Chain A
Amino acid sequence: MSLREVLTPFTAWKHVLDAPVTIPDPIGREAAERYRGFHQNDMETCIGCGTCEAICQNGAIDMVPVEGQVTEKGDSGLRPMIDYGRCCWCALCVDVCMTGSLTMSNEYTWVDTDPDAFRFIPGLEEPWKDKEAGYRREGGRELSGTKRSHMGELAPALRGDNFSEICAGFTREEAILEADRCVECGLCVATCPAHMSIPDYIAAVRDQDYDRGLQLLYETNPFSEVCGRICTHKCETSCAALHEGDPIAIRWLKRHIIDNVPMERRLELVGGAKPANGHRVAIVGAGPGGLTAAYDLAREGCAVTVFEALAAPGGMMRYGIPEYRLPYDALDRDVAVIQAMGVEIRCNMRVGRDIALDDLKRDHDAVILAIGLQMGRGTRIPGSEGPGVEKAVDLLRRITAGEDVPVPERVVVIGGGNVAFDIARSMARLQKATHGTVGVTLTALEDRAHFLADAEELIEGAEEGVEIIDKRGPQEVMRDASGAVTGLRSWAVTSIFDDQGRFAPAYDQADERVHEGAMVIEAIGQMADVSLLGAELTEALDWNRGRIAIDAGFRTSEPWLFAVGDAVKGPDVINAVADGHRVAQSVMERVSLQEGIS
């Protein structure tokens, strides 16, 4: 113990004259640039997917309705409300935000006498609403993976001359990877017309529980195998993952489940129908609308007979959609499950020709019309009457039926929708098989960016040799002296709609072209053949712009008659399925009501 050790500590006195190091007024001290302070939410970018709510480990976030935010496709209309009595500022909510709308400002002082004020909806009127500084997730930290999992496809060179299915479907590994990207927000469920339990069946894929997946599919859709291949998948347009990259491949995951459950197991899982209830229902048309209704009613115990004009059931799923997109055996399996419920399908029975509608009415408690749109619309341009001009749906039907169709070396297709591509690509295959070369020209009013057909149709069509020409309006089918078709004369389109948004194409007549071809195929829309109704019923029924009028329950103005599907609403299989369920419900209400009365 030296004297030094007694004296040295006193050196601390030298700090007496130092300026104080404390901040006199800490209020207003700006926090660091990336400080995790109070939340901000860009209300317009937010889609209300609720991923923030799902990840919050404190349960501090509730999704709530907010004035001015509407529920619409891809937006739940809800917005996060945050309780600062629970929040721990971990920012996981910001990290997982699918749109990047939720952020944190670097603001950290907030004084209020009302404790409830600290449960607030960011994005409304907080003072730090537009503050730039604060926590944003660093780039490259998307939650769900921005790229779709790979799926095998038939190379263009291998598909030119045959109708083999193009898509191979996911392998298990691919499916699990894809399923992993789902954030289970359920925006897709709201968009799907049949409200399939999409997040749940995707979870089943993740869990590799295909039995559960299949049961979930069948809860809402007896055409899951079909829809797993050709559904218009509007669900994918409202997927939250879309905001970070590719939407989840919902359609392919559905298909993956079905592909992984053998048929016998499928029948077992779907189970049988309820005991017969004594009611008899007739359905005209074995498309997805009619058969879905048939499935539901049969499960309820009704005796259901479906009358189908053509040789096999399926409607446009068989006679419209080409086999390279939907193999017939896939459709057959869906139909087989429906038949296993006891549904009787009587093919080659055109109602109005082979049996009268009145007979159906007499022998049944209710009749459902599900006749679809079987007649192709014509362009009515000069030269379009007569041989060499075909309707797309007629040709497709004949191709499916195995009939001989003429296959000239060059054909011209009018139309830019999916049906146009279906026939163009089908003809291309037939040409390739017959002549070894493809000579299909597809002309459409729209410009490339606005084609009605799906983007992949354009890509795959081009790959298969279809020449796609946009912005052309058909003017005349050219014929030679003998009357044989030689091509299509067209003008360039300058606009399609008028100022009021009505369909009124305008042309640049100076820009005229002739597209060579010995056949012109019109693919510009379909209409219903309602001749089966007969004059009296046609007169008696209410109509709505050329279609049989129906109410929300798909009841016509005649109490015994219901109508569903393309003929009254459309426009695709999944809508036909959804509406098939609804019409079945209406029919059940009617027959049980009758039961009550008798």
Chain B
Amino acid sequence: MLSFQPDRSQYPQPGPDGRLEVDLETGKYLKLWQGPNHPGITGNMSVELTVCGDEVVEGKTHVGYLHRGFEKLMERRTFIQVFPIVCRVCVPEPDFNEYCYAAAVEELAGIEVPEMATWMRTLILEMGRFNSYMMFLGGISGSLGLGLVGQWMTYVRDLMLDRFEELTGARIYHMFILPGGVRGHLPEGFAARMEEVLQTAEKYLADVDRVMFSNSVFRLRTEGVGVIDPALFERFGVTGPNARAGGVVKDVRKDSPYLVYDQLDFIPASGKDSDIFTRVKVRRADIDNSIGLIRQILEKMPKSGPVMARLPNVLHWKIPRGETYIKGECSRGEYGYYMVTDGSGYPRRINVRGPSYTHAMALLEHLIPGTNISDVAALMVSLHTYPPEIER
């Protein structure tokens, strides 16, 4: 389909250590940095490309531009003091950190969260997922030169941020889900205002369907491109929509339901071609899921009740020795917090599993060789990469 067909016999061959032997002196190859400042890169990372003509023969991922040492910072904070920093691990979908951290603390400290709070948490997580997908749609279309979708989605996302603001008191870092529950109840009239946003979103998404999925350019550039062989899923730890687009229907919300997901109706979106197009399609369908879930939650959730459990005095809160792994399905796949406590007032160790860690480093390096330079951006975005969660 692509006009450019390189002569692969010209390519460098792997040396004894398995790495390609690229001799830049020959003039046949060029090193090209995509990122860290590049519109085709999501966030702060870069891919060091070795190209031969238009074709990429090797891609090395570089991270570290965003390292803030969160996991270490957490070890130096009391259990309550960790709560405001976890959201910062992932900017576009911060709430997952808040939920996983809170749930880990609650499990190890033996705290039972009021029912109302679990509904609120589910609501927040679906709102977060929705917004994460808004950014994704803007990103994937932008990386293929379709800037318009990004503008629409930014607007829709902003409307959802308004809802976040009135519910949580903040737009980006909500700091609303904390160990023991959540910080407040739904504001008066929230459901109606949310419904307005959802309807606006649906209108714009219908437009997106027309300009993106019914767009010959978009299809040409994404169909059959960046295919991940499902056989690799296990090896590269591929989860979430990336796996579902390859026919492996994994969704933590269904497979090991947490919060109130077992009381909600939805069918995880999936596909089978495992290319960029299918991955985007799966996410598009998942947005509809989120919209449906938000509606269901607002309808089914209890109308009143406590949102916080009684905590021990947080100023000197000690948690008994223990360890746990809390996971959930974020917009990119399995998100998890592994936490170890040692009986002191500080977490001994917290490890954050962000799906981008496996998707955007090793897997991307594996997928890049053989693609066209202009496809690398879309390939990377199609894996739905958030560099902050790689660097904790």
Binding site for B on A (CB under 8 A): 1-2, 4-6, 8-9, 11-12, 15, 21-22, 31-36, 51, 54-55, 57, 88-92, 96, 135, 137-138, 140-141, 143-145, 180-184, 203, 206
Contact = CB atoms under 8 A, between A and B. Distances in A.
Contacts of B78: 57
A2 B219 CA distance: 11
A54 B315 contact: yes
Contacts of A33: 166, 187
A32 B183 contact: no
B207 interface: yes
A2 B84 CA distance: 52
Interface stretch (B7-15, B33-41, B167-175, B377-385): B167-175
Q: Which of B81, B155, B212 has the most CB of A within 10 A?
A: B81
12 contacts: A5-B215, A9-B210, A11-B210, A33-B187, A51-B315, A55-B314, A57-B82, A57-B84, A88-B84, A90-B84, A145-B313, A183-B313
B53 interface: no
B322 interface: no
B211 A34 contact: no
Query: Among the interface residues B77, B155, B175, which one has the most CB atoms of the partner chain A within 10 A?
Result: B175
Contacts of B162: 32
B85 interface: yes
Contact of B316 (A21, A145, A180): A180
Given A55-B81, A92-B84, A143 B313 contact: yes
Contacts of B84: 57, 88, 90, 92
A51 B80 CA distance: 13
B210 A36 contact: no
Contacts of A6: 216
B219 A5 contact: yes
Interface of B: 77-78, 80-85, 148, 155, 162, 165-166, 169-170, 173, 175, 183-185, 187, 207, 210-212, 214-217, 219-220, 306-308, 310, 312-316
Given A6-B216, A180-B312, A182-B313, A91 B175 contact: yes
A1 B220 contact: yes
A12 B185 CA distance: 39
Contacts of B215: 5, 8-9
Contacts of B77: 57
A35 B315 contact: no
Contact of B219 (A1, A140, A180, A183): A1
Given A8-B214, A12-B207, A31-B165, A143 B315 contact: yes
A138 B207 CA distance: 41
A1 B187 CA distance: 49
B34 to A, nearest CB: 27
Interface of B is mostly: helix
A209 to B, nearest CB: 13
B274 to A, nearest CB: 21
Given A32-B169, A57-B77, 6 more contacts: A8-B215, A11-B207, A57-B78, A57-B84, A92-B83, A140-B308
B316 A184 contact: yes
A8 B81 contact: no
Contact of A138 (B81, B170, B185, B214): B185
Nearest to B173: A88
A144 to B, nearest CB: 5
B214 A184 contact: no
A142 B67 CA distance: 36
A2 B80 CA distance: 58
Contacts of A51: 315
Nearest to A10: B211
Given A5-B216, A90-B83, A92-B81, A141 B211 contact: no
A109 B220 CA distance: 46
Contacts of B83: 90, 92
B279 to A, nearest CB: 19
* Most chain B CB within a 10 A radius of its CB, from A22, A31, A34, A137: A34
A165 to B, nearest CB: 30
A-B pairs with the 8 shortest C-beta distances? A90-B84, A57-B81, A32-B166, A5-B216, A8-B214, A9-B211, A32-B165, A36-B169
A34 B165 CA distance: 8
Contacts of A32: 162, 165-166, 169, 187
B183 A138 contact: yes
B211 A96 contact: no
Contacts of B216: 1-2, 5-6
A8 B210 contact: yes
Given A12-B207, A12-B211, A143 B169 contact: no
B315 A12 contact: no
Contact of B80 (A8, A92, A203): A92
Contacts of A55: 80-81, 314-315
A34 B313 contact: no
Given A8-B214, A12-B207, A88-B173, A144 B313 contact: yes
Given A88-B84, A141-B308, A206-B316, A8 B170 contact: no
B85 A35 contact: no
B255 to A, nearest CB: 33
A96 B314 contact: yes
Nearest to B162: A32
Contact of A203 (B166, B170, B316): B316
A24 to B, nearest CB: 15
A5 B214 contact: yes
A138 B184 contact: yes
B180 to A, nearest CB: 9
- Most chain-B CB neighbours within 10 Å: which of A11, A36, A54, A180? A36
Contacts of A92: 80-81, 83-84
Given A11-B207, A180-B313, A36 B170 contact: yes
Contact of B211 (A2, A11, A135, A140): A11
A205 to B, nearest CB: 11
Contact of B170 (A11, A35, A181, A206): A35
A250 B132 CA distance: 51
A180 B183 CA distance: 22
Contact of B315 (A22, A135, A184): A184
B166 A12 contact: no
Contacts of B183: 137-138
B240 to A, nearest CB: 28
A90 B217 CA distance: 45
A5 B173 CA distance: 40
Most chain A CB inside 10 Å of its own CB: which residue of B184, B185, B210, B315: B315
A51 B81 CA distance: 13
B211 A90 contact: no
Nearest to A15: B207
A459 B61 CA distance: 76
A32 B312 CA distance: 30
A202 B77 CA distance: 22
A559 B314 CA distance: 53
A34 B163 CA distance: 12
B313 A181 contact: yes
A6 B187 CA distance: 45
A296 B77 CA distance: 41
Nearest to B77: A57
A34 B187 contact: yes
Given A1-B219, A55-B315, A35 B165 contact: yes
Contact of A57 (B85, B148, B173, B220): B85
Nearest to B163: A32
A135 B165 CA distance: 11
Contacts of B314: 55, 96, 143
B169 A91 contact: yes
A88 B88 CA distance: 11
Contacts of B312: 180
A138 B185 CA distance: 9
Contacts of A31: 165
A41 to B, nearest CB: 18
Contacts of B219: 1, 5
Contacts of A206: 316
A88 B175 CA distance: 10
